[in-house]
A and B are shown apart, each in its own frame.
Chain A
């Protein structure tokens, strides 16, 4: 019989389908009036926690409580409500209007872990805005917990998990004792959509609020963004008429054959 508590970290980011625009000052990406949603890798993390909970319930071998946490501005609560509607039990919002870099988020999450004492923390392998791919590994280091990153399969054992990880050129399987950190890769699962009744129910689920000061964490940024620019545009779009034409261009124009 295992009774697990699973903490899932989620981040509110610009929706993956939105075309990114750099602001006129070249200091940031435009975020005003732009659609935001939960970081896709965090949706996979939320789904994984729910699947673990459902599997435990189905086999009658235990229970799981899923706590979702998000660090960021007040609008992060929308992301938390999405996770609650998917099936998480309760939420924690760490409110901050300051820029939160991965090390600061890892420290905030450590403080939440110390309060909640989960058996497992699930994070997306990276957020699709800053593409850092750091927070899970940093949290594992700060807690001195084992980490299994870039997971494509998770099997829960007795106080342990066996994780298949996506590595360069194939997959690797590792086993860690619990508590542990898990970060998700794309193929781990396909996240569910929240049903309308569950969206309604999610509005009544508990959501606790803290600030960085409440948690006693220094969130000062360590990296300073000097400028942001659009990437160089490619001059593409030339159409060739035939395979012969293509071979000729590759040999004589591009000189790559």
Chain B
């Protein structure tokens, strides 16, 4: 078993989900080589080389990798696999990993195993299907396993004292056919949703975007990230990057506080693995109460400020 981990990074920071994917890669039972592609990846390479479990770092330094475009990245994965004979290609099941890995799998003529939550052997994996309403165990019969990892299912990898050596990845002739135009990222000083240990999320019951201020006050007091249900995003209260659910982010913090969220199946799919779930809703029949460890039937506009004060 020799695994190749595709490292996701932005603004010289390694994506949190890559640390979870590294733990999964180490769990395969063989060596883990990390692949870092970028136009100026030196500081990321230095950081990756000190992540626990990384035995070597392959560096693809080229202007073509300035943005995370799929055509060049997929070709790089394929060329790197062919040169070194890795048995597993692995990345986080993030927008980055989801975009690139299936393309590489097709070029290698192998299946991909998406969004794994467990490893039962080097060729056997556990993954949720039907938005987590069923859990499948699948065995790959391909010689190369291409895998994306659900971050919340694996702990983040730590650090090692000795830095792993690095060398150049093979050169790739493939230029991107798609072209980067622009990006618009939500800036926040709060913890990131997918790695926060505490999350407070608002739903349609928040009534408007301004009222999310109540959640931000509570979040700041306990160091939590703020999220939202799809209903709140669709109603335009908050940006899509906050969405938690089947079609948004999957989170599993220590503490999840659902405020004014009814608990549609699609929302539950994104948060039901949280350790402790609190629901605040004025409708005692809301389905969210059935999964909540602690339910408070109350008007959120009085309960949330009171809770913030008492935390």
Contacts and interface: CB of A to CB of B under 8 A. Distances in A.
A172 B185 CA distance: 8
Interface string B178-209: 11111111100000101000100000000000
A224 B139 contact: yes
B190 to A, nearest CB: 12
A174 interface: yes
A129 B240 CA distance: 23
B95 interface: yes
A132 B114 contact: yes
B292 A236 contact: yes
Given A174-B178, A175-B178, A223-B141, A137 B99 contact: yes
Interface string A159-191: 000100111111111111100100001110000
Contacts of A171: 183-184, 240
A173 B182 contact: yes
B138 A102 contact: no
Interface stretch (B19-27, B40-48, B127-135): B127-135
Contacts of A223: 111, 113, 138-141
Interface residues of A, number: 76
A131 B115 contact: yes
B170 interface: no
A222 B108 CA distance: 13
Interface string B267-295: 00000100111100000100001111111
B55 interface: no
A152 B239 CA distance: 13
Interface in A201-257: 222-231, 234-240, 242-244, 246-247, 249-250, 254, 256-257
B64 to A, nearest CB: 14
B222 A257 contact: yes
Interface centre among A19, A132, A168, A240 (most CB of B within 10 A): A168
A173 B181 contact: yes
Interface in B132-186: 132-142, 176-186
B106 A142 contact: yes
Contacts of A156: none
B296 interface: yes
A57 interface: no
Contact of B134 (A134, A166, A230): A230
Interface string A61-81: 000000000000000000000
Given A29-B130, A168-B94, A256-B275, A231 B135 contact: yes
Chain B residues touching A, majority SS = mixed
Nearest to A183: B99
A44 to B, nearest CB: 11
B79 interface: no
A138 interface: yes
Interface residues of B, number: 87
A170 B137 CA distance: 33
B293 A254 contact: yes
Contacts of B239: 170
Contacts of A174: 69, 178-181
A78 B177 CA distance: 36
B306 A243 contact: yes
Contacts of A86: none
B252 to A, nearest CB: 12
Contacts of B133: 19-20, 230-231
B240 to A, nearest CB: 6
A101 B105 CA distance: 13
B231 interface: no
B102 A138 contact: yes
Contacts of A29: 129-130, 134
B181 A162 contact: yes
A170 B184 contact: yes
A243 B103 contact: no
Contacts of B57: none
Interface stretch (A3-11, A47-55, A87-95, A143-151): A143-151
Contact of B130 (A128, A226, A239, A243): A128
Contact of B136 (A101, A146, A227): A227
A186 B182 CA distance: 21
Contact of A102 (B95, B111, B297): B111
A225 B138 contact: yes
Contact of B194 (A168, A177, A236): A168
A141 B277 contact: no
Contact of A246 (B183, B290, B291, B296): B296
A168 B240 CA distance: 10
11 contacts: A103-B110, A131-B114, A137-B98, A141-B105, A168-B15, A186-B230, A227-B137, A231-B135, A239-B294, A247-B311, A254-B275
Given A236-B277, A243-B298, 19 more contacts: A19-B133, A103-B109, A103-B110, A128-B131, A133-B98, A136-B102, A142-B107, A146-B177, A166-B95, A170-B184, A172-B183, A174-B178, A187-B234, A222-B110, A222-B140, A230-B133, A239-B296, A240-B295, A243-B310
Q: Which 9 A-B pairs have the closest CB atoms?
A: A146-B177, A222-B111, A138-B106, A137-B102, A170-B185, A141-B106, A134-B102, A141-B103, A20-B133
